[in-house]
Amino acid sequence: MKLKPIEEQTIVITGATSGIGLATAQLAAKKGAKLVLAARSEADLQKVAQELGGEVATVAADVANADEVRRIAETALARFGSIDTWVNNAGVGIVGMIEQGSVEDYRKLFDTNFWGVVNGSLEALKHLKPKGGALINLGSEVSDLGVALQGVYAASKHAIKGFTDALRAELEHEGAPVSVTLIKPAGINTPFMQNARNYLDREPKLPDPVYAPEEVAYAIVYAAAHTERDVYVGGGSKLFSSLNKVAPNAVDWVNAHVMPSQEVRPDQAPSNPEGGLHQPGVGGRVHGDHPGYVFQKSYYTRASLHPVASGALLALIGGAVALWLSKK
């Protein structure tokens, strides 16, 4: 399986007007890719396209609607003639105790987060299977574990992981030349919490550790040109996933006794309880306003994507240290 260099690709990105989607669009545009950007807000799409310049097409679409997702592909083909990478990034959040919420809200979240990935994947495969390409789905660290106060969101990310893993196996069974990657970010400093439907009586926030959205964009753009199965963005994501496999009771204890207080700002009332669940949220912004420290890079992620270079660097450092010690 051989993927094109980024500068030769046409890349579809859903949820492209804020956060991870916008950061990915910025990086891909900088590297010379042709872009097809989709989101619910036409105004935000036009603003982003103007700021990016270059070869950019936009489609106002709700990924929960298969017909609207089809229009994304049609726009890509009409404007650029092909699709090389499809990034299913669009997503919404809900914060609060599961019993506080409504089934209507929960169905809407699944319509966007899960069915949006299904719609995007099925449409993308029509165009990727004949000639090859990359399908990239956005999971989360909560694809591998549940988190108190974000239970339904975590459930949707579990569903995305199950769907993506099964789809990858079926494509491999067929011998289809499609690279399928699941990206699993840790907490990322985007407007996600500001756009989440909030049932709490306080402003929500991400639990630490939190990373910059540009690091997720780096992983996505890398996966567009290199075959990767899973990419954990942030050492925290890999750590929690691994701990949940080997010490689930300990993770349950952290979930029950630590996480709830980590996910609220105790001195701040809710600023936007409705969020962007049923209507477009805050667009045009890559970054959120996380009050704590934000890691600008994840050395774990970079090392996992470049194991040979990382191993060589560690060997070089180890050799230098050994030489220095031998002269002491």
- Asked if residue 308 belongs to a domain, the reply is no
Q: What is the CATH number of the domain that holds 218?
A: 3.40.50.720
- Domain-embedded: residue 189: yes
Stated length of the chain: 328
Residue 317 lies in a domain: no
78 occurs within a structural domain: yes
Whole-number Å distance between alpha carbons of 217 and 233: 10
In a domain, 82, yes or no: yes
Contact of 209 with 297, CB cutoff 8 Å: no
Which structural domain, as residue segments, surrounds residue 66? 6-297
In a domain, 110, yes or no: yes
Return the H-helix or E-strand segment holding 19. helix 19-30
Instruction: Give the C-alpha distances (Å, rounded to integers) separating 159 from 12, 136, 239, 252.
Output: 22, 15, 21, 20
Give the count of beta carbons closer than 10 Å to the beta carbon of residue 250: 11
Is 327 within a domain? no
What is the pLDDT at residue 307? 77
- Is residue 232 part of the annotated active site? The answer reads no
Max intra-chain CA distance, the chain: 71
Three-state SS annotation for 294-318:
EECCCHHHHHHHCHHHHHHHHHHHH
pLDDT at 327: 58
Q: How far is CA 166 from CA 31, 99, 162, 180, in A?
A: 32, 31, 6, 10
- pTM of the prediction? 0.93
Looking at the domain assignment, is residue 99 inside a domain? yes
As for how many domains the chain has, the answer is: 1
Neighbours of 187 (CB within 10 A): 28
Q: How far is CA 96 from the centre of its chain?
A: 21
The residue from 153, 199, 222, 300 that is catalytic is 153
pLDDT tens for the chain, 328 residues long, are 799 999 999 999 999 999 999 999 999 999 999 999 999 999 999 999 999 998 999 999 999 999 999 999 999 999 999 999 999 999 999 999 999 999 999 999 999 999 999 999 999 999 999 999 999 999 999 999 999 999 999 999 999 999 999 999 999 999 999 999 999 999 999 999 999 999 999 999 999 999 999 999 999 999 999 999 999 999 999 999 999 999 999 999 999 999 999 999 999 999 999 999 999 998 999 999 999 999 999 999 999 999 765 454 334 434 443 454 455 5
